[in-house]
Structure formats: C-alpha cells, structure tokens
Structure 1
Amino acid sequence: MKIAVLIARILLGLLFVVFGLNVFRPFMPMQLPPGDAGALLGLMFKHGWFYFIGLLYVVGGLLLLVGRFVPIGLVLLGPILVVILMFHITFAPASIGMGLFCAALEVFLIYACRAHFQALFAPKINHQ
C-alpha cells in the first residue's frame, strides 16, 4: 500500500506541476476546443483566471511531490478536479479520460490519508 500511495502521490503531483507550469510558460501547445468550451476557456485566459488556477495547480502539486502537508495539497486540488470533471461532462465529454484518471488518484490518496480528514466529519467539537 505504501508503494501505491507513493506512486499515486508522485504521479498526481507531477501532472499538476507540469500542467500548472504550462500556464505560465507554455511549453505544450494547446488549441482551444471549438464551440462553447473554447469560448469559456478563451474568457478565462483573457481575464487572467488561468494564472490563479495555474498557481493552485503548482502549489498543490508541489505539496504532493514534496510529501509534506499532503492533505492540504489534496484539499487544494479537490475542487479543481471537480471543475475539470464538470467542464468535461458538460462541454467536452470525449476528452474526460485524463480528468477521470486524476480524480481516481485523488480519491485513492484521500482514502489513504483518511485519518487526517476524520476531524472534519466529527459531529461535535471537543473544547479543551
């Protein structure tokens, strides 16, 4: 289990760091998809949202790669993965494969770190 967690953590971290850095220094050419999906992405690029999202990609990915504060990295990347999946479900269902793969890695890592998330689901706060 330790090796599987290590592989999943490094793979997910590398994916997010590489694609996050690609936002700031485009080294992988990307074409906007046709239709509404391209219009939405074009607006996000035009108004600078992708720089903020790219920063979250890099920070979350680095936290996973370094291996410290992994639960915080998973918390940062979780909502991003939900948005990625929702984008592909609604606008580009043919290219959802990588999003599903990353979401599967995220869910596996959250399950592996479930002890760190137990306090979030406690019905009461212990005041000491």
Structure 2
Amino acid sequence: MKKLPSTAAVLLGLGFITFGLNHFLNFMPAGGPTEEGSAKAMFFGAIVPTGFLTFVKIFEITGGLLVAIPKTRNIGLLILGPIIINILAINILIIGGGAVFQPPVIVISVLSAYLLFAAKNKFLGLLGD
C-alpha cells in the first residue's frame, strides 16, 4: 500500500512538469480556438502578455519536481495546492461548459486529493492547536 502514494506522486509530478515545460518548449499543440471577446479570451489575454502565466508555469515545474521526490512531496503539494485550486476555478468559472470534467482536470484533482489525504496527519499540524 506504500507504493500507491509514490505512484500517485510521480504521476502528478510528471503531469505538472510536462504541462509546465510545454509552456516554454511548445511540444504539444495549444487548445482549440477561443471566441474573441469571451471570458476565456479576455482572461488569457491578460495573463499571457503580462508574464503571469510564465510565473505560474515555473511554480508548476518546481512543484512537480518536488512532489515526485518522496522527501519533498509535501512541500511540492503546498506549492501545487493554489495552482490546482486555480485550475479548477478557471475551468468552472471562466471556461465553463463541462470543462471541469476534462480528463486532465479530473486526474490532477483526484491525485492531489489522494496525496493530501495520504499525508493528512502532516498537514493537520499547519492548522494549529
């Protein structure tokens, strides 16, 4: 049973490393066309040219590397936590139309929730007494 968290962590880490590196290396095609004036177009029109998306992608790669290494897994989860929440928020609130049920969103949500649950005793200490 100890192998399951390690497998989940490696899969989650590889996902974030892959999608983070894709931002810089462009080895996978970008999503489909975006309707001009849509919430999605305006959102990405703001975060891409400002460099904010690059900033996030650096943290995705860093968090992915840390979560894949057993000794630094929990630090990696702390870094990736806000990114995962934002991925869910963007898919639910901005993209909409069932985007939250896309396989990559489901996979990262389930893997991260499982890893958080598997290490819950370590994270409960962050809540104080």
TM-score normalised according to structure 1 size:
0.88
Q: What residue is the counterpart of 1:108 in the other structure?
A: 114
Unaligned runs of 5+ in 1: 124-128
In the TM superposition, what are the counterparts of 1:1-128 in structure 2 within 5 Å?
A: 1-31=1-31, 33-34=34-35, 35-93=38-96, 94-96=98-100, 97=102, 98-123=104-129
In angstroms, what is the RMSD of aligned CA positions? 1.4
How big is the shift at 1:20? 0.6
TM-score normalised according to structure 2 size:
0.87
**Residue identity (%):** 31
Q: 1:68 is paired with a residue of what secondary structure?
A: helix
Q: 1:28 is paired with a residue of what secondary structure?
A: coil
Segments ≥4 residues shifted beyond 4 Å:
none
Q: How many residues align?
A: 123
Report if the CA contact (8 A) 1:85-1:100 is conserved.
no
